[in-house]
Structure 1
């Protein structure tokens, strides 16, 4: 799976690594990857007993395909509003492109708690940090795995690989 994802990310240029950041925000502008990422996510998400999936704006283009494959409703977290019918919904998984920061996790948790929604997990297409808290952090693929594949395929140099890892390790330790 990592090989396929690395190749797709590289060919579509939807993920960009540099020494200061990892940019995955362009992913939603490539509709040809929506079904691929959604279908690849089904195996992970289908194992959880949930009533709905919830997302922010950055993942909204993926949600119709993902929700229909899971046969679940989806809700949209737009600012501080949850758009969609939350009646009879109690247990959710929150979907993101990239693992949210601790501050974003706190905000998401508070907004869902206000609506009486229990977050079972936060699922990201690209995992950026380890699972050290509740709710559980899930991801389709870890950024480190993609970096490793990029290095193996000679898409990035050994130095670029080391620089990115060192920069992101330092950010994680300072967070």
Structure 2
């Protein structure tokens, strides 16, 4: 399995980044939403799960699971159930918390095997800049989005 994980503390932009990445895959890469829970996300619940289906660079049909929440054991178990119910999946893109108990739960419940799975993690951080926070946040989001798309366009994802 290939994983792209967006990691960080609460309020670092994991869900927003995943939402923008899903929209990019749909609008610019031609992927289609074939299964979802709460996508697009609502104002009251920004978390979501979805399965995208499309072609990679070699014109092979692939399925991508995008998951925005991994805060608790229960949420991760729900994430795993959605994954199991929507097989096959070739790539998992998910948030992951920076606290090690939640990370351990995610890796155990999702059955991530460091010896055979490919895991790339993009670390996210909080943006705080007083009067210029909006400008800094815009720059930060643009750079994270560009890095995520660039990562997915190249080996081993090849989108």
TM-score band by shorter chain is 0.3 to 0.5
Larger relative contact order, structure 1 or 2 (CA cutoff 8 Å, min sep 6): 2
Q: Which has the larger radius of gyration?
A: 1
TM-score (norm 2): 0.35
